[in-house]
Structure 1
Amino acid sequence: MLHVAAVGASNVLLTNSDTTISTFNKDYVYEVKKARSEIRIDGVIEEPDWQAAQKADTFFKVLPVDSGYATQPSTILMTYDDKALYLAQIFYDTIPGKRVMESFRRDFAFGNNDNLLVFFDTFLDQTNGFSFGVSASGAKWDGTMSNGSAVSLDWDCKWESKTKHYDDRWVTEMRIPFKSVRYPRGSQTWFTNFSRLDLKANEKSSWAPVPRQFPTASLAYTGVMNFEEPLPKPKPQISVIPYIFGGVSKDYEAGTDASYRKDFGFDAKIGISSSMNLDLTYNPDFAQVEVDRQIANIDRFELFFPEKRQFFLENGDLFSSYGYNTSTPFFSRRIGLDAPVLAGARLTGKIGNDLRLGLMTMTTEKTNDFLSRNFTVVSLQKKVFARSNIGFIAVNKQYFDVPSDTSMYNRVVGVDYNLASANNFWSGKFFYHRSFQPGNPDKQYSQGASVTYKTKHLTLGLYETSIGENYLAETGYVRRSGYNFVGTKTGYNFVPNKKVVSHGPDVQIDNYYDKDYNKIEHEYELSYHFQFQDRSEFELSYKNFYVKLQEDFNPTSDAANFLPVGSDYHFGAVSAEFTSTRKTLFNWRAEATKGSFYSGDIQFVEGEIGYRFQPYVNLTMNFNFTDMDLGAPFDREQFFLVGPKMDITFSDKIFWSTFVQYNEQVDNLNINSRFQWRYQPVSDIYLVYTDNYFTGNWNSRNRAIVLKMTYWFN
């Protein structure tokens, strides 16, 4: 059993045999009483247990300023029985106008909806946890938490909620089965916080106060919830999710006949213990995954697109958080995009309170272009000090059926230290990774260090990276190799709490050097930002660049000409960006840039406009126009990228989205239309149509339609 005792003036100390954890907000304790009768999830708070429950009804402002109480009252009630936790929410709303509710879609966009979010730290490590929430439309939100505040919404579980609206308030009841979350045996205390986003009042607030520079999801600033009796013993759960799919595709560009496909596969989730999960997949199909949003690419390096496939995303931080986003040893998009995945397994969870384990192995099929390959990654993370951790990772990519006198593999091992102070003001990372490959040349290292100090007013950061010229992480993402980097960032924030809520300057200085520490590139940025009372934002910036090319570079489609290796360039540009408030039905964001670019000039405008017929229809369109003139002998380049998207949510079970992307830079028009019917909890039928056309003559390039059905047994 946990014992609670006040320590000092700012934190509470909780001990549990081999665990000692300090947390802030010692005075914010919620005593959860056990229910004596049945709770009906109907959005009507009338049961006796709700009347007897403790009220969490004092919410503190976090944004626009973190002083004072929220303008509109909020109340949270909780109770529980042997099977589930129950939560009731009453958010009063007397400001004239419609409540902001974008759609019925699960895992809604946080900033586009009035909403409640709840955060649970069940293992009391102030680093990992679970998040649940509802928007004003009644749409659900559920996700796993990592790195102290990050929420991954790619985890779904079975739980219930019901939302009702009244003239002066909106009310929700929630039922979260204990079997849907993980917690230690004998658990009687969790850390928690409740967050309200009230767009009509232009406020974000929380029950346990959080400094405005941090998200309300910050587990360093949770309060404490004590259950009246210890929770029921966690029971291992087994879920099987079979799926069948079929489709037809035709490649007009290649001139091949139509190709028909029908197949089946399954996912399985096996609870090894209350804190350890085994996920299995056979013959997975990811046709229902939303297509990537295209962007205009005039960069010298490979673009980084985020992972969207659910199997790789649940507990994905155990594998993807190593290194930086410019040099990470494991990037799951390397698996299965060039060859179908045959099968895979992933074991993730906790060993005790302070050690996390991740093990993943995936095998892809042999194709005409690639041999069969196995991808295996092992990750261990050990909590140290208040909220920091040290991690070890090993990644192996192995080819099958290679000639007997040939060895084809790529391996990376590494260690990371992630700094997170008790009050969240200090954060940082220190890592060293090394790759191994046939021949094993020298300089196969990736090393980096960073430290950031962040308060309400001041941000200071120092960053360093060194990547060896022969470092190779084939299962990772390495933006560039053979360089040394040093960068700093300084920012100051004035918070006058008027129509301009906050404003201030930011200075970023990034320098790149070759292996002998001769400068090969710099990027200096000076910017000034404004945040207004209605949560709209404006930023004005100037960037100055120096580049000495290490390889030939052609940013245009002019195949006959290029900028030669060894040539150097000084250039710069001015940018202005505005983001409107999200509480109005019409909203927009736009950025305009004008300046020099390598040997010539560039100007472009990009952004997004949107309108919603809430909560049923959400219309958006991203756009980009680029005008680039590098001078003779290059041709002047002018191209559009336009991406209209229509998202219709007929209810909380039926969704239809269509995304059209017209991209003159790559001479392609893509149409992706996806229908989803959630006919049972976490069980879906998808119908997906994809078409590609040339932008000049509008001839079809390829076309496909896929039908997929899943069902969740548990």
Structure 2
Amino acid sequence: MRFRICFTFLFLLASHYLLAQKINDSYRLNIKRASSEIIIDGVLDEKAWMEADVATDFFMITPMDTSFSQVKTEVRMAYDEENLYVLAVNHHAVEGDYIVQSLRRDFSFGQNDNFIFFMDPFDDQTNGFSFGANAAGAQWDGIMSNGNQMDLSWDNKWTSKVTNYEDKWIFEASIPFKSIRYKKGIDEWGINFSRLDLKTTEKSGWAPVPRQFPSSTLAYTGILAWDNPPPNAGTNVSIIPYVLGGATTDFESETGTQYKREIGLDAKIGLTSSLNLDLTVNPDFSQVEVDRQVTNLDRFELFFPERRQFFLENGDLFANFGYETIRPFFSRRIGLNVPIQFGARVSGKINKDWRIGAMTMQTADVEEDALPSQNFTVMSLQRQVGARSNIGAIFVNKQSLRYNPDAVDEGMPVYSEFNRNAGLEYNLASSNNLWTGKAMVLQSFAPDNTGNGFVHAANLKYASGNLTWEWRHEYVSESYTAEVGFVPRRGYYKINPSGSYLFFPKSEKILSHGPTVSSTFFWNTEGVKTDNATILAYNIRWRSQSRFMLWTAYDFVKLQRPFDPTNLGGETLPIGSEHEWFAWGTEYTSKPQSVFTYAFSTRMGGYFAGGKRYNVTADLGYRFQPYVAIAMAANYNQIELPEPWNTTSFWLVGPRIDVTMTNTLFLTTFIQYNEQIDNINLNARFQWRFKPASDLFLVYTDNYLPEPFGVKNRSLVLKFTYWWNV
């Protein structure tokens, strides 16, 4: 306990001494009210643009961060009573066609010529919005949290146009003030503009950003200076209804075809310019893109990110509390195999220092599973302290309505009456982003104290241009429970020191290279060592943006519960058995400029029970830009073990075809063959964005048995959504 208190004190002390004036406050772009109407056509011909101030003379971020960019970019901004306007002229530095994957929305940043800008409308260097496009006109939008984290699943109403010329391409956009949140009366926003030009492999920014950080890092934004505070968004109410029809057939249970006819709606109500109320009634998420399957040889549950729109805006207030394996709240637990009836959420900024989030969701009864209606409530409060740090609190409650204590299955309760979590955390982020970290505590509460437990964790990270190091420790008690969270492992102590160093040689081909070392130790609550994973790697990055890594690792595991090393549901290794092995492997990613791209990884060495494991993965891609992108992902595992397992091998193969006829008309077909779970999944999704944020979806899904080949289940859904501003 003394160690924990000292570590937390060091966090607070570090925050006190790491305060500083905003780094790039000398980079200022004045924004004026538009003196003429602006038509979004990707043409620089309006009077308002001729009179607007210009942001130019971008700084190179990569491959080096010590000079001006060789690729010229010019940016102008303006506004009127309803919209914020942006125009970027992206000049070519090298002759040749632009490089893009497709017209697919929210493209991969590193594989497209693009222009993206990052806004901090609260001027807190922590939260913001991002908009942009690639050189073919595919849109990008995301919501930002924790200084540079980007959630591209967020989607909102705005328009843009890209026009290509022989020597440049122009991006022009109109963003309604109703589509973003900002502090009322503020006349200075944080702003930065990012340009990636793959022909020169150069990434640049208007306000300089050190190369060890993403160009989106809000600690390094310049200032957008308004001639008057941004106009009030006025009545800000959006109604988003949907109508859905579909059919599902389960061939395995032979229950026939079930037809689905539903209506529902979401509503967004701006309580203030920075505080929003979201409502949903009978939501449906059938159009959400399917998760990419992975081979699971882990002893613990896997994590898949949230993609449903309702949970995303200001989602960091709820979902970012804790660490990736210690989350007291994980929204994908809500509506898991049960329908959501309705929900409400208030989230956003109260003032410069305070943010709040409160959400309640109600699910329906499920008679066949003997599950009652359940209520999920989560409340979060966050206060900024120092330059960019904050203190947060969270409370999570899952409550079963009409609780029946006699509902049991094989002697165990089917569900609990309630589960609650309360926690505090301190997030450290220095003004220059060199120091980051977190310290947190959590307490769970359950009926009869059976699930009452405690969590403490903390980390401290330093990242300079060459040197990065981090310390992290965790404690999760055996009785800690988070039924609405993601905590795959309980009853342990953990420490994880890590470090890396990069060399930047004066080479025409190699950009950087250097070693990375990380060691993770686990002990159970009785002090017995249960795990150790130590990895030593060497990384090389070429100026062409291709990458290579060679690694070797040592693993030790003392099993705390039975485990099948093939994860196929067969024989298990006993509790208390000890296993250790060495392994090595490689990873390579090709340069993104080619129309044919590829990546691979290899792994060979020891495994549980004195066995061997061999693994090869490959990702291949070919594009007929900008309309068609074809990809193939393959993963092969061969596990050699003593009897009764012997030799086991299985494939995971996933071809994917993206057809983007325009930047509003998409067809995605995704096939996944997973030999480990004996399933073939086919998912095809057609999307027509006939107006900004308004869509028609047609989604077809099949699941097959590989042998003998036959259909397990099949569904077809047609969904229409319309975004209506009241």
Common fold by TM > 0.5: yes
Letter matched to residue 244 of structure 1 = V
Deviations 1:7-57 (A, max 9, x none): xxxxxxxxxxxxx98311132111123322222222111223322222211
CA apart distance, 1:652 = 1.4
Equivalent residue, structure 2, for 1:3: none
CA distance in 2, matches of 1:117, 1:650: 23
CA apart distance, 1:470 = 0.4
1:508 aligns with 2:509: no
Identity of aligned residues (%): 47
Letter matched to residue 386 of structure 1 = A
Equivalent of 1:477 in 486, 495, 499: 486
CA distance in 2, matches of 1:695, 1:47: 60
CA distance in 2, matches of 1:593, 1:379: 42
CA distance in 1, matches of 2:451, 2:485: 19
> Any idea what SS the aligned residue of 1:210 has?
coil
| Between 702-711 and 442-451, the greater mean CA deviation after superposition | 442-451
Equivalent residue, structure 2, for 1:450: 459
1:376 aligns with 2:349: no
CA apart distance, 1:558 = 6.1
1:536 aligns with 2:546: yes
State how many pairs are aligned: 695
Equivalent residue, structure 2, for 1:13: none
| Between 439-448 and 332-341, the greater mean CA deviation after superposition | 439-448
CA distance in 2, matches of 1:190, 1:476: 35
Detail structure 1 runs of 4+ shifted over 4 Å in the superposition.
404-407, 557-560
Equivalent residue, structure 2, for 1:4: none
Deviations 1:586-640 (A, max 9, x none): 1111000000001100001013111111111111111101000111221311111
Paired residues of 1:443 and 1:468 also in contact (CA < 8 A): no
Equivalent residue, structure 2, for 1:185: 184
Paired residues of 1:236 and 1:273 also in contact (CA < 8 A): no
Letter matched to residue 177 of structure 1 = P
| Between 292-301 and 158-167, the greater mean CA deviation after superposition | 158-167
CA apart distance, 1:404 = 7.7
Paired residues of 2:388 and 2:430 also in contact (CA < 8 A): yes
Equivalent residue, structure 2, for 1:547: 557
CA distance in 2, matches of 1:558, 1:661: 18
Deviations 1:394-428 (A, max 9, x none): 00000011138997110000011100001100000
Equivalent residue, structure 1, for 2:623: 612
Paired residues of 1:21 and 1:125 also in contact (CA < 8 A): no
Pair 1:412–1:33, CA change in 2 (3 A): same
CA distance in 2, matches of 1:698, 1:497: 57
Paired residues of 1:62 and 1:211 also in contact (CA < 8 A): yes
> Any idea what SS the aligned residue of 1:220 has?
helix
> Any idea what SS the aligned residue of 2:285 has?
coil
| Between 99-108 and 515-524, the greater mean CA deviation after superposition | 99-108
CA distance in 1, matches of 2:85, 2:227: 14
> Any idea what SS the aligned residue of 2:81 has?
coil
Pair 1:496–1:244, CA change in 2 (3 A): same
Paired residues of 2:20 and 2:431 also in contact (CA < 8 A): no
CA apart distance, 1:183 = 1.9
Pair 1:365–1:558, CA change in 2 (3 A): closer
CA distance in 2, matches of 1:558, 1:36: 67
> Any idea what SS the aligned residue of 2:175 has?
strand
CA apart distance, 1:180 = 2.1
Pair 1:404–1:638, CA change in 2 (3 A): closer
| Between 203-212 and 363-372, the greater mean CA deviation after superposition | 363-372
Which residues in structure 2 correspond to 1:38-117 (within 5 Å)? Answer: 38-117=37-116
Letter matched to residue 374 of structure 2 = R
CA apart distance, 1:523 = 0.3
CA distance in 2, matches of 1:310, 1:94: 39
CA distance in 1, matches of 2:450, 2:404: 22
Paired residues of 1:182 and 1:234 also in contact (CA < 8 A): no
Equivalent residue, structure 2, for 1:8: none
Deviations 1:313-360 (A, max 9, x none): 222111011111111100111111221111111110111111110111
Letter matched to residue 161 of structure 2 = K
CA distance in 1, matches of 2:574, 2:549: 35
Equivalent residue, structure 2, for 1:249: 248
Paired residues of 1:152 and 1:314 also in contact (CA < 8 A): no
Letter matched to residue 671 of structure 1 = L
Paired residues of 1:501 and 1:533 also in contact (CA < 8 A): yes
> Any idea what SS the aligned residue of 2:505 has?
coil
Paired residues of 2:60 and 2:67 also in contact (CA < 8 A): yes
Which residues in structure 2 correspond to 1:70-469 (within 5 Å)? Answer: 70-367=69-366, 368-369=368-369, 370-403=371-404, 408-441=417-450, 444-469=453-478
CA distance in 1, matches of 2:568, 2:204: 53
Equivalent residue, structure 2, for 1:641: 652
Deviations 1:99-140 (A, max 9, x none): 012222222221121111111111111101111111101111
CA distance in 2, matches of 1:558, 1:671: 22
Equivalent of 1:655 in 666, 669, 675: 666
Deviations 1:235-275 (A, max 9, x none): 24000111111111111111211111111111011111111
Paired residues of 2:496 and 2:520 also in contact (CA < 8 A): yes
Paired residues of 2:445 and 2:452 also in contact (CA < 8 A): no
Equivalent of 2:589 in 549, 573, 579: 579
Equivalent residue, structure 1, for 2:612: 601
Paired residues of 1:94 and 1:167 also in contact (CA < 8 A): no
CA distance in 1, matches of 2:131, 2:453: 43
> Any idea what SS the aligned residue of 2:639 has?
strand
Letter matched to residue 114 of structure 1 = D
| Between 173-182 and 508-517, the greater mean CA deviation after superposition | 173-182
Letter matched to residue 111 of structure 1 = G
Paired residues of 2:297 and 2:567 also in contact (CA < 8 A): no
| Between 259-268 and 88-97, the greater mean CA deviation after superposition | 88-97
> Any idea what SS the aligned residue of 1:650 has?
strand
TM-score by length of 2: 0.94
CA apart distance, 1:560 = 5.0
Letter matched to residue 641 of structure 2 = L
CA distance in 2, matches of 1:680, 1:123: 29
In structure 2, stretches of 5+ residues that fail to align are 1-18, 408-415
Pair 1:404–1:665, CA change in 2 (3 A): closer
Deviations 1:549-604 (A, max 9, x none): 00010022665521111100111210100001112111111000000001100001
CA apart distance, 1:94 = 4.1
Pair 1:148–1:236, CA change in 2 (3 A): farther
CA apart distance, 1:443 = 6.2
In structure 1, stretches of 5+ residues that fail to align are 1-19
Pair 1:378–1:21, CA change in 2 (3 A): farther
Paired residues of 2:119 and 2:130 also in contact (CA < 8 A): yes
TM-score by length of 1: 0.95
Deviations 1:172-192 (A, max 9, x none): 222222232222222221110
CA distance in 1, matches of 2:201, 2:35: 39
Letter matched to residue 218 of structure 2 = L
CA distance in 1, matches of 2:484, 2:301: 14
Paired residues of 1:546 and 1:571 also in contact (CA < 8 A): yes
1:493 aligns with 2:502: yes
Equivalent residue, structure 2, for 1:9: none
CA distance in 1, matches of 2:335, 2:679: 24
Paired residues of 1:414 and 1:432 also in contact (CA < 8 A): yes
RMSD: 1.5
Letter matched to residue 502 of structure 1 = S
Equivalent residue, structure 2, for 1:664: 675
